[in-house]
Amino acid sequence: MDNYKITNKKSSKTYFFNEDEMITFFNKNKVQNYSLTNLTEQKRIKRTKMLDTIAIVSFFAATVLSTILIIENYY
């Protein structure tokens, strides 16, 4: 189930809803007066960026360590 952050564009009041609550909220209110943010998708994107960073750092560290081992063994 996705979580959403809904912000009123005029008053900047923020609401946090799940999918079912969001549907009932927009049945009562007009969609164009609010900005909608999918918090579940933002959390997934943040986690993916963090894992990408860890992978790049690990690859760089492995490259440096293998270079050091090659230098020690052959020189």
Give dist(CA 73, CA 75) in Å, integer.
6
Q: How many domains does the chain have?
A: 1
Report the pLDDT value the prediction gives residue 31, as an integer from 0 to 100: 83
pLDDT digits (tens, 9 = 90+) for 2-14: 999 999 999 999 9
Q: Which domain holds residue 27?
A: 3-74
Residue 23 has pLDDT above 90, yes or no: yes
pLDDT digits (tens, 9 = 90+) for 27-58: 998 888 999 999 999 999 999 999 999 999 99
Half-sphere exposure (CA, 13 Å, Cβ side) for 8? 8
